[in-house]
Chains A and B, each alone.
Chain A
């Protein structure tokens, strides 16, 4: 009788111990935070990124979380920090994030924040003379080309605009051999739009035989575009390329309609392939052609878009990168054998950095994303155009 009771107690003790260790594993969390502009006039970028990250991590957690080095499972905890698209605030936010138990950060959204912010990170790993911050940043939105080269702690999953526009103008040349001239319109005071026109669109257009017959410049908060449109009207271009964000893109498109400017092809900035443009000026944007690294063209992309909408956001090329980053980081955490304890935090961050640096391909919503040695990515993309109030796939170069 005594032996039976003793055995019972033993079994109970062992099972309690086992349950306790399972519970402890279940309690483990890994913090991956996002940061970017979640308020202010470009706050929609951060809000969409935040929604995409939340939706992606929720999916990962629902499927059991991530596996750590000791074989236990951990849930992913996330939080989004607002930098208001301001460089000083962005730097301060990243320093704050690095002082917490966050393993890696996804962000920022604005290129004008990204550029100085990447400068506070250690430029070369293991450079003892460089006291820069040693913290991995996996950028989703800030799209201006070549920024990952600033620090070896920076990785970006943003589309390669130079490749996308090069391909777009090559495609236009093939399919519309009659088109000869192009006129550019650029929002001068925004790093991304400025860079994209002068260094990407213009270069690609000239490379494929389009003659640039003029350029019009305006600022982000401008409300009058008649001067700029007048020059465009006189030049009578076959193609008009607008490198601007939705508010001024809409203002300019309306002015073009008013001045009866009817180019055969309208090309827009990657960031304009969003709901904002359509909600602002769907009629005037009709036909606007943009290369984008996201469109709901397969089941996975559709499901992801629905999950983000359920979180109150919208899926576009930027928030799609946030979703992909979350999924890539899950694989990285498992492959790099992350300890997930306060004691291994520094070592874990380094493992994340090294694993991201070694990555050659990563899964994406439109297919496999190629990872480049400089921390940049080349992502699959499609050409979309505005049609009947929505973005419709015009051409899929990958198909």
Chain B
């Protein structure tokens, strides 16, 4: 094993872990919604992308500074998340579980098409911070912008944990997630909690979308599929419904795809990531941290 291989391996691991935080954020969004409603929102990645485009529109129209662009991306995605809730989940019959799933697939395609139509599919520049900053630790280079992405994602996760475990809103969310009927009997309005969950998840998705675009420096509708697929793999590996699981799953997916890229090349990289997904679904369907506790 030569020196360069070890350096490449460590470098791939570092880059993958840093970039994996965006997958973790998307995974948290999926898992939050699933945890509260026991439903998958497949339009989530597309909503994150659309929110990111709202931010970039401000950048292109008013030359808005990066913090404003990131904030607008997050808020835009949060609003779209609420729209998705009303269109695909609020009024779909609860006795037909497939209805909301298929509605969210329809919404995914709709949002994707709308974004492609509005942007003509053209890549647009997305503002980055610390774009060319590098921290050199020997032969290992840590990208400043990825470190920023990592930092923002960690802060977003911290805020989410504070919201969930230190505020009445979080208490209500956890109550609806564990025992929706009992929570309703205690006076918690599940519709309001669901709505807020979609809003918060949307904001997280917007941050993930913004950070992905900031890391590349370019925004294109192409990223929606990647966000959706990698986010879903992260939650399956971490355990659907588990926030720590989504974080670990996201980091694992980020790191492993970079390592597989190094070891097996780009054409085989996704084969191994998908194989990981298959192995988890077969051998450990609950994922790493999947809850086995039922609910009413």
Also in contact, A247 and B123, with CB within 8 A (given A219-B266, A257-B132, A258-B132) = yes
CB distance from A138 to the nearest CB of B (A): 24
Q: Which parts of B119-163 form the interface with A (CB within 8 Å)?
A: 120-125, 131-132, 134, 141, 143, 145
Q: Are the CB atoms of A47 and B218 closer together than 8 Å?
A: no
A188→B261 CA distance, assembly (Å)? 13
Does B226 reach chain A (CB closer than 8 Å)?
Answer: yes
Q: Are the CB atoms of A254 and B218 closer together than 8 Å?
A: yes
Does A44 reach chain B (CB closer than 8 Å)?
Answer: yes
Interface-side segment among A5-13, A99-107, A223-231, A286-294: A223-231
CB distance from B263 to the nearest CB of A (A): 10
Complex contacts, B258 vs chain A, CB 8 Å: 224, 227
Q: Are the CB atoms of B225 and A221 closer together than 8 Å?
A: yes
Also in contact, A44 and B121, with CB within 8 A (given A39-B113, A227-B8) = yes
A188→B15 CA distance, assembly (Å)? 22
Q: Are the CB atoms of A250 and B218 closer together than 8 Å?
A: yes
Q: Are the CB atoms of A276 and B15 closer together than 8 Å?
A: no
The digit string for B179-221, where 1 denotes a CB below 8 A from any CB of A, is: 0000000000000000000000000000000001001111011
Q: Are the CB atoms of B125 and A258 closer together than 8 Å?
A: no
Does A40 reach chain B (CB closer than 8 Å)?
Answer: yes
Complex contacts, B15 vs chain A, CB 8 Å: 224, 226-227
Q: Among B123, B212, B262, point to the contact of A246 (Cβ < 8 A).
A: B123
Complex contacts, B125 vs chain A, CB 8 Å: 279-281
Q: Among A44, A218, A221, A280, point to the contact of B124 (Cβ < 8 A).
A: A280
A275→B221 CA distance, assembly (Å)? 17
Complex contacts, A228 vs chain B, CB 8 Å: 266
Complex contacts, B62 vs chain A, CB 8 Å: none
Q: Are the CB atoms of A218 and B266 closer together than 8 Å?
A: yes
Complex contacts, A125 vs chain B, CB 8 Å: none
Tally A residues with Cβ within 8 Å of B. 35
A279→B145 CA distance, assembly (Å)? 21
Does B19 reach chain A (CB closer than 8 Å)?
Answer: yes
A284→B218 CA distance, assembly (Å)? 12
Q: Are the CB atoms of A251 and B266 closer together than 8 Å?
A: no
Max chain B C-beta neighbours (<10 A), residue from A41, A47, A188, A259: A41
Complex contacts, A254 vs chain B, CB 8 Å: 131, 216-218
Does A25 reach chain B (CB closer than 8 Å)?
Answer: no
Does B117 reach chain A (CB closer than 8 Å)?
Answer: yes
Q: Among B113, B131, B262, point to the contact of A227 (Cβ < 8 A).
A: B262
Q: Are the CB atoms of B121 and A42 closer together than 8 Å?
A: yes
Complex contacts, A230 vs chain B, CB 8 Å: 8, 11
Does A43 reach chain B (CB closer than 8 Å)?
Answer: yes
Q: Are the CB atoms of A279 and B116 closer together than 8 Å?
A: no
Does B12 reach chain A (CB closer than 8 Å)?
Answer: yes
Closest Cβ neighbor of A277 among chain B residues = B123
Does B282 reach chain A (CB closer than 8 Å)?
Answer: no
A230→B262 CA distance, assembly (Å)? 11
CB distance from B47 to the nearest CB of A (A): 18
Does A217 reach chain B (CB closer than 8 Å)?
Answer: yes
Q: Which parts of B204-263 form the interface with A (CB within 8 Å)?
A: 212, 215-218, 220-223, 225-226, 258, 261-262
The digit string for A191-220, where 1 denotes a CB below 8 A from any CB of B, is: 000000000000000000000000001111
Complex contacts, A284 vs chain B, CB 8 Å: 217
Q: Which parts of A54-110 form the interface with B (CB within 8 Å)?
A: none
The digit string for B252-296, where 1 denotes a CB below 8 A from any CB of A, is: 000000100110011100100000000000000000000000000
Q: Which parts of B90-121 form the interface with A (CB within 8 Å)?
A: 113, 116-117, 120-121
Also in contact, A224 and B124, with CB within 8 A (given A188-B266, A188-B267) = no
Q: Are the CB atoms of A41 and B132 closer together than 8 Å?
A: no
Q: Are the CB atoms of B217 and A251 closer together than 8 Å?
A: yes
A275→B124 CA distance, assembly (Å)? 11
Max chain A C-beta neighbours (<10 A), residue from B131, B132, B134, B217: B217
CB distance from A134 to the nearest CB of B (A): 34
CB distance from B129 to the nearest CB of A (A): 13
CB distance from B130 to the nearest CB of A (A): 10
CB distance from A151 to the nearest CB of B (A): 29
A276→B122 CA distance, assembly (Å)? 6
Q: Are the CB atoms of B124 and A41 closer together than 8 Å?
A: no
Chain A residues packing against B (C-beta within 8 Å): 39-44, 47, 188, 217-224, 226-228, 230, 234, 246-247, 250-251, 254, 257-259, 275-276, 279-281, 284
A-B contact pairs, 13 of them (CB 8 A): A39-B113, A41-B116, A42-B121, A44-B122, A188-B267, A218-B266, A219-B270, A223-B19, A223-B215, A224-B258, A227-B11, A246-B123, A247-B220
Question: Considering the complex of A and B, which 9 residue pairs feature the smallest CB-CB distances, nearest first?
Answer: A280-B123, A247-B220, A247-B123, A254-B217, A217-B266, A250-B218, A41-B121, A221-B222, A43-B121
Q: A219-B266, A280-B123, A281-B217 are in contact. List 8 more A-B contacts (CB 8 A).
A: A39-B121, A217-B267, A223-B216, A228-B266, A230-B8, A251-B216, A258-B143, A280-B125
